[in-house]
Amino acid sequence: MPLATACGADAGDGADAKSVTVTVGYQSKTINTVTAGTLLRSLGYFEEELAAQGRKDGVAYRVVWQDYATGAPITAQMTAGKIDIGSMGDFPLLINAARGKELKEPTRLVAVTGYNLRGGLNTVVTAPGSPLRSLKDLKGRKVSTSVGSAADGTLVRALRRAGVDPEKDVSKLNQQPSVGASALAAGSVDALSQFVAWPGLLAFQGKATPLYDGAELNLPTFHGVTVRERFAERRPAVLDAFLRAQHRATDHLRTRPVAAAESVAKETGLPAEVVHLYNGAQGIATFDPALRPELVAALKEDVPVLKEAGLVKDVDVDAFVDAAPLRRAVPGLGYPKAAVPKAELWLEGQDTTRSFDSPGALLKAVKGAPVRAAYVPDAVTGTPWFADRAVWVADGGEWRAFVTRSGAERYVAAHPGSRITAYADAVRLAS
């Protein structure tokens, strides 16, 4: 009987095994990881790559996908030798590295899924109608976040920049994203700091208003792929197959963004309009597996934040990051060029979108059209947001949009004659 290796179990993971089970941990609703999780699973690319590998080496491969809400349980399972490959955000990746070293089950960061070079994947939101207008207003208030996540890192850094002590001046509640969303709706917290896709989802549902755009920090944030070092050494061909499959899924997302959004929406239950806000052609996230130097540098800047919170003692980022498998699996991989964010319109019944060079052009196109979703970049940070949820400013004959009201107010204060205008009025006046 062939020897089966399940979940990377070391006891039977010999090179002569004829049946190998690979276990992948992912976060279906953390849609910045879809090219290594939800979308990749639905496309079947990993299974295809493994089938091709199996024909070469005579091994029957099977993939087990395990879905989690956050990166923490994936790390727990990886350090127990029960998950081979996982995807998670930058802060959880560092905890993954630290726990792996402590528990003698070291891991390696081998690829990126999606990123935003300014930090726009994390947002602080309040309930609609909240009197809070800035981070300084959070003094003495309750804020929900997930400690150890990039969203918590954004909150801590942003509060400090605003002159607010994140430990003494606010009451921070450590909650899962869904629990925090419910707490915000119930009024038991005053604000919520979370990662993709929660802020966009709550805004789309009319349940939240952005208070702070994480891109104001101008610090990169990303999600990536981590692998157990022992598994990577024993099964390099499997890791290569995964990275090739991830690269194919990335190409699919880039070339068919609307179809990809619809697919992810079907798998997760998230509205496709919200998925597209982050993952679309003009979305908040840029998808590419390459380990960009800016992202590695940002990871090093994240370490002190986690150390101060007592979540890690230290992390050797250079030892954790391993670009060799990706170079081997996908030779000649380059970095996408940074593009100027554009406004985007998705009409009902269409499987493609239109982009516009200016917010004003989008406003003209929206009037009377069967709009499914319209997106517009923040005039300062470039973070795309729902056009009907953005804060619009009329400045002479030009139109500008902002994710937060405070951002719009700062612009108006610096540009005499400009004024904040309701979205419906902006559409009417622009047309």
Please give the average pLDDT of every successive group of 10 residues along the chain, which has 431 residues: 39 65 96 97 98 96 95 96 97 97 97 97 97 96 95 96 96 95 97 96 98 97 98 97 98 97 96 98 96 97 94 96 98 85 96 96 96 98 98 96 97 97 96 81
* Rg value, the chain, Cα: 22
The reported pLDDT for the residue numbered 9 is: 43
Q: Which one-letter amino acid corresponds to residue 167?
A: E
Furthest CA-CA distance within the chain:
80
- For residue 290, the 8-state DSSP code is S
Separation between Cα atoms, residue 211 and residue 188, nearest integer Å? 17
| CB atoms near residue 63 (< 10 Å) | 20
| pLDDT attached to residue 431 | 81
Per-residue pLDDT at 10: 40
Written as six digits, the tokens of 82 are: 């029960």
Secondary structure letter of residue 333 according to DSSP = -
Cβ atoms of 104 and 81 closer than 8 Å: no
Separation CA 316–CA 194 (nearest Å):
26
**What 3-state DSSP class applies to 138?**
helix
CA distance 78 to 57: 26
